[in-house]
């Protein structure tokens, strides 16, 4: 099976590439623009693999995408290319609209053209999966969760752009007959995540003795999902999901941001002997800053659909996953804190 993955050099995309090649034995065509968020080391284990092919292409370039379809003849598309950082979307929404909405439109358009030209057997097997987020649903109060039938109420430019991409994907399935799937995932964490995200940002700042800023009270709740569990779920949806359907992927592990940072600090205390000058624990570096604009209070996903229909459930418990993630970031860091 040959799978074309857009954004395969990103955090989740690279984990999916590694999984599909090493665990599934599939051929992968990685289509990536190589933006600031990429860490190319994440793909070192597959770079020279005979089943791995890389194409540096902007998904907004329709001609280049069309050429890739003709040359590689994929059996499926997993569309993961996206701008993802909420703070950046607040500062400059334009690139999010361009990549997440216009780029998704280009991928759908070229996928339909390719799909319409396939033989019957290839058409029957072809799938287009759009990787999305739980943020499209908006925010929750203290109780409840989001199901696949919950209304979309995005509250940031990022989540609005992803919601738009979801709607485009669903409409291309209904209108043009493209066999589409949508995967809405909760907060991912794990190795190779960019430092703008919460966990790697806190670790990298702690290692240089910097303050650890937390938006507002830090009581905003997220459902934490290990990236390897997420890519297993995406693979199951791609292979066995029902075209036209969407599936929630969550860790069923709700923890507020302040607690996550405290857990990270506790692991740093355990593995790093020297602490920043004037402190006895890394948690003393925590500080609270002005809350993010439009900051959603809580996300939680109902995952019964993917559990019941596809037999997926997360394998990595959060305590083990966070410990391994912190250890990975520390070992990969070129700037570990040293006591003066």
Q: What is the arithmetic mean of pLDDT over 176-180?
A: 98
What is the percent of the chain where pLDDT is above 90?
Answer: 94
Q: Is 116 a catalytic residue?
A: no
Residue 278 confidence (pLDDT): 84
pLDDT bracket for residue 212 (50, 70, 90): very high
CA dihedral 39, 320, 288, 95 (to 10 degrees): 30
Q: Which residues of 26-42 are buried (b: 16+ CB within 10 A; e: fewer)?
A: bbbbbbbbeeebbbeeb
pLDDT bracket for residue 334 (50, 70, 90): low
Average confidence score pLDDT of the chain: 95
Set 58, 83, 110, 135: catalytic member? 135
pLDDT bracket for residue 29 (50, 70, 90): very high
The neighbour count for residue 171, using CB atoms within 10 Å, is 13
pLDDT tens column, 87-136 = 999 999 999 999 999 999 999 999 999 999 999 999 999 999 999 999 99
pLDDT tops 50 at residue 340: no
Q: What is the arithmetic mean of pLDDT over 286-302?
A: 95
Beta strands in the chain (DSSP E): 2-6, 27-32, 52-56, 76-79, 127-133, 180-185, 187-189, 212-215, 221-226, 246-249, 254-256, 286-289
Alpha-carbon gap, residue 217 to 287, rounded angstroms: 10
Q: Is 299 a catalytic residue?
A: no
Spatial CA neighbour of 268 closest among 183, 175, 168, 200: 200
With a threshold of 0.75, does the pTM exceed it?
yes
Q: What is the arithmetic mean of pLDDT over 19-36?
A: 97
Q: How far is CA 188 from CA 75, 227, 248, in A?
A: 27, 5, 13
Set 114, 158, 189, 247: catalytic member? 158
Domains in the chain with CATH codes: 2-194+225-252+299-315 (3.40.50.720)
Q: Is 51 a catalytic residue?
A: no
pLDDT tops 80 at residue 336: no
Set 58, 134, 145, 236: catalytic member? 134
């Amino acid at each position: 099976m040959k799978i074309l993955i857009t954004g395969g050099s990103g955090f989740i995309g690279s984990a999916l590439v590694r999984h599909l090649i090493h665990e599934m034995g599939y051929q992968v065509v990685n289509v990536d623009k190589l933006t600031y968020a990429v860490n190319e080391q994440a793909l070192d284990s597959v770079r020279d693999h005979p089943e791995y092919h890389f194409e540096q292409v902007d998904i907004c370039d329709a001609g280049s995408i069309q050429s890739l379809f003709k040359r590689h003849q994929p059996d499926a598309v997993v569309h993961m290319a996206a701008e993802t950082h909420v703070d950046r979307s607040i500062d400059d929404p334009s690139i999010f609209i361009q990549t997440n909405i216009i780029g998704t439109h280009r991928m759908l358009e070229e996928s339909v053209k390719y799909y319409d030209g396939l033989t019957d057997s290839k058409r029957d097997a072809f799938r287009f999966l759009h990787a999305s987020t739980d943020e499209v649903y908006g925010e929750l109060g203290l109780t409840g969760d989001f199901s696949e039938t919950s209304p979309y109420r995005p509250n940031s430019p990022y989540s609005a752009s992803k919601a738009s991409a979801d709607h485009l994907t669903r409409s291309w399935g209904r209108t043009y007959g493209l066999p589409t799937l949508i995967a809405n995932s909760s907060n991912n964490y794990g190795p190779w995540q960019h430092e703008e995200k919460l966990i790697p940002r806190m670790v990298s700042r702690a290692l240089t003795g910097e303050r650890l800023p937390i938006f507002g009270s830090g009581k905003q709740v997220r459902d934490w999902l290990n990236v390897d569990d997420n890519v297993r779920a995406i693979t199951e949806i791609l292979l066995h999901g029902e075209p036209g359907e969407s599936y929630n992927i969550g860790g069923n592990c709700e923890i507020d941001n302040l607690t996550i940072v405290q857990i990270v600090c506790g692991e740093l205390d355990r593995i790093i002997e020297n602490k920043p000058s004037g402190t006895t624990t890394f948690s003393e570096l925590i500080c609270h800053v002005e809350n993010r604009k439009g900051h959603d209070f809580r996300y939680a996903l109902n995952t019964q659909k993917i559990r019941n229909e596809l037999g997926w459930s997360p394998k990595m418990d959060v305590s083990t996953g966070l410990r391994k993630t912190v250890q990975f970031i520390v070992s990969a860091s070129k700037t570990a804190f040293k006591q003066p």
